[in-house]
Amino acid sequence: MVVAGRRKSIAFFIALGVGLIAVTVLLYVGWVLLSWRTGILLALGVVLLALIISGVVLNTIFLVREIRRNEQHDAFINAVTHELKTPVASIRLYLETLQTRQVDEPKRHEFYRIMLEDSDRLLSTVEQVLRAGRIGASGKRLTVLPIDLDAMVTECLNRARTLHRVPVESLKHIPSSPLQVLGDPEEVRAAISNLIDNAVKYSGKEVDVTVETTRSDEKFAVVRVIDHGPGIAKSELKSIFKRFYRVPGPVAARVKGTGLGLFIVRSVAKRHGGRVWAESEGPGRGSTFVLQLPIAL
């Protein structure tokens, strides 16, 4: 309901701006026809018209941007609320069951395992929000160290297998020759993990993700995360790295998220002097995310 209301607001302000411009043009044309002999007044009228039109256009653009930003904030709050509420409710349910019923030992261990997984999911969401805040504030200095890239990717893949409960063969790793990059281990780990998590979440039931590590040239190494998911329209390939942005459509409605993962990846790449980009042939044809980081010389 809120989104629909804001879309109506956007349409209203656009219509208002167009209407004001039309009325101004009509009044100006009528005024020119009545005062065509006065050249100075004509020149002043042209300037006045330009100023009025510019003001209306800029005001409309500002309002539309603010409304869209508020929509993104609302979507983010709703997503974070869901990501926090779901694991908390699950943990509470299992704790109440353990407290009120007699549960045999195998079942008890299964409950403990599920609660630990939900706790990890909860912690992951909190860390994601906090990390996005730290990156946005640009207050944290990087602790730059040589990082074994293949070892870091292996660590992130093992974490993803546990977190998403997928078999080993669903997440494949094609390593390079021994390769070290310069970076902050915590931030590089977060960037690679976010790319892998994103690929797994959007793959659906049939997860088939491959992570390749290669040397692109003498200065940079790349981590390439390849999935066979729903793909991305070419018009969305740059927008997906914006804060809170999620590609509209049924897939985004099915896959829950905060809209921060790819923003964090882009911020990490930028802070390390690298970059990140996405490649896709279009909807239904999978996606490839490429993270570029400087090599430790």
Q: What are phi and psi of 145, to 5 degrees?
A: -140, 160
* Buried-exposed string 193-218: b where 16+ CB fall within 10 A, e elsewhere: bbbbbbbbbbbeeebbbebbbbeeee
Give residue for tokens 């993803």: 160
Residue 71 has pLDDT above 70, yes or no: no
* Mean pLDDT across 74-81: 64
Separation of alpha carbons 188 and 181, rounded Å:
10
Q: Are strands 180-183 and 275-279 parallel, antiparallel or unpaired?
A: unpaired
Separation of alpha carbons 91 and 101, rounded Å:
15
3-class DSSP state for residue 211? strand
Count CB-CB contacts under 10 A for residue 13: 18
Residue 231 has pLDDT above 60, yes or no: yes
Res. 179 pLDDT band, cuts 50 70 90: confident
Q: Are strands 145-148 and 171-174 parallel, antiparallel or unpaired?
A: unpaired
Residues 6+ apart with CB under 8 A from 237: 277, 278, 279, 280
* Mean pLDDT across 186-207: 88
Evaluate whether 213 touches 223 at the Cβ level (below 8 Å): yes
DSSP code per residue over 253-282: HHS---S-HHHHHHHHHHHTT-EEEEE-SS
Q: Tens digit of pLDDT for each residue in 79-127?
A: 666 667 777 888 888 888 888 888 888 888 888 888 887 787 777 777 7
Query: According to the model, what pLDDT value does residue 2 have?
Result: 44
Beta strands of 150-192 (E only): which ranges? 171-174, 180-183
Evaluate whether 229 touches 286 at the Cβ level (below 8 Å): yes
